[in-house]
Amino acid sequence: MAVKFPSRRPTLLSVVMLGALSLSLTDCSRKSPKMLYGSNCGICHHSGDGMPGSVPPLVGRIDKIASTPAGKQYLANVLMNGVSGPITANGQPYNAEMPPFRYLKDDEVAQILSWLSARGTTQPAPEFSAQDIAAARANRISSGRVATERETLNKTTPLP
Ligand code: HEC
């Protein structure tokens, strides 16, 4: 399909506008983990400290939970399936609903979790790969079941 320009050559203005458009598209595909966290998680988990009584804190806990393979798997599972059920975090009870984030790419979820993990005290901070997330994505379960699996995990490896 041919696009007809009013004049034969695109005007300087349209060239500048195209340039600006491609620049902003590049920016979109290169969001930093901090930006990804801010636009997807911050509304509930705030700076990472959560909201007392309703949303659990993440900073200082993700690194500890991710220190075991089962814990890492649990976290990837939460991001792909959500979690809903009574849970205890830092000794405080929570009973709300965390939605799944399947619309984010594996790599984006891995970046967010690695970034949160790096903000804890565990050295070296556990890191997440896109493969860790892809494995959880392939295993679609209910958010209630994720909470049940958390309870089981908590018995063998107490979660912070
Ligand atoms: C709409 C609010 C909301 C948003 C947005 C949200 N969460 Fe949550 N998240 C929650 C709630 C509420 C819980 C606790 C669920 C429960 O009580 O069972 C939770 C739990 C979690 C847990 C499990 C913690 C534990 O101790 O087991 C992780 C990990 C987590 N969220 C990470 C994230 C990340 C990363 C993002 C962004 C990609 C995010 N959340 C976005 C509300 C939210």
Which of helix, strand or coil describes residue 118? helix
Show the ligand 1 pocket: residues with CB < 6 angstroms: 40-41, 43-45, 55-56, 58, 75, 78-79, 83-85, 87, 89, 94-99, 101, 112, 147, 150
Count of domains forming the chain: 1
Tokens of 17: 């506008």
Residue 141 lies in a domain: yes
- Whole-prediction pTM: 0.86
Residue 15 lies in a domain: no
Residue 63 lies in a domain: yes
Tokens of 127: 């890191």
Residue 21 lies in a domain: no
Q: What is the pLDDT of residues 116-137, one digit of tens each?
A: 999 999 999 999 999 999 999 9
Residue 44 lies in a domain: yes
Rounded Cα distance, 142 and 125, in Å: 29
Residue 14 lies in a domain: no
Instruction: Print burial letters for 27-55: b (CB count within 10 Å at least 16), e (below 16).
Output: eeeeeebeebbeebbeeebeebebeeeeb
Q: CB-based contacts of 116: which residues, under 8 Å, 6+ apart?
A: 37, 48, 58, 59, 62, 63
Instruction: Using the atom order of ligand 1, give the atom closest to the CA of residue 160.
Output: 26
Environment class of residue 71 by beta-carbon count within 10 Å: exposed (0-12), middle (13-18) or buried (19+)? Answer: buried
Q: What is residue 125's predicted lDDT score, i.e. its pLDDT?
A: 98
Q: What is residue 37's predicted lDDT score, i.e. its pLDDT?
A: 98
Q: What is residue 3's predicted lDDT score, i.e. its pLDDT?
A: 56
Residue whose CB lies within 8 A of the most ligand 1 atoms, among 95, 98, 112, for a mutation test:
98
Q: What is residue 121's predicted lDDT score, i.e. its pLDDT?
A: 97
Rounded Cα distance, 130 and 108, in Å: 8
pLDDT mean for each 10 residues of the chain (160 residues): 54 53 54 97 97 96 98 98 96 96 98 98 98 98 97 96
Residue 20 lies in a domain: no
- Residue whose Cα lies nearest atom 31 of ligand 1: it is 98
- Residue whose Cα lies nearest atom 40 of ligand 1: it is 41
Residue 90 lies in a domain: yes
- Residue whose Cα lies nearest atom 8 of ligand 1: it is 98
Q: Provide the CATH number for the domain around residue 122.
A: 1.10.760.10
- Residue whose Cα lies nearest atom 19 of ligand 1: it is 98
Q: What is residue 30's predicted lDDT score, i.e. its pLDDT?
A: 74
Question: Which domain, by its residues, includes 92?
Answer: 32-156
Q: How far apart are the CA of 29 and the centre of ligand 1, in A?
A: 24
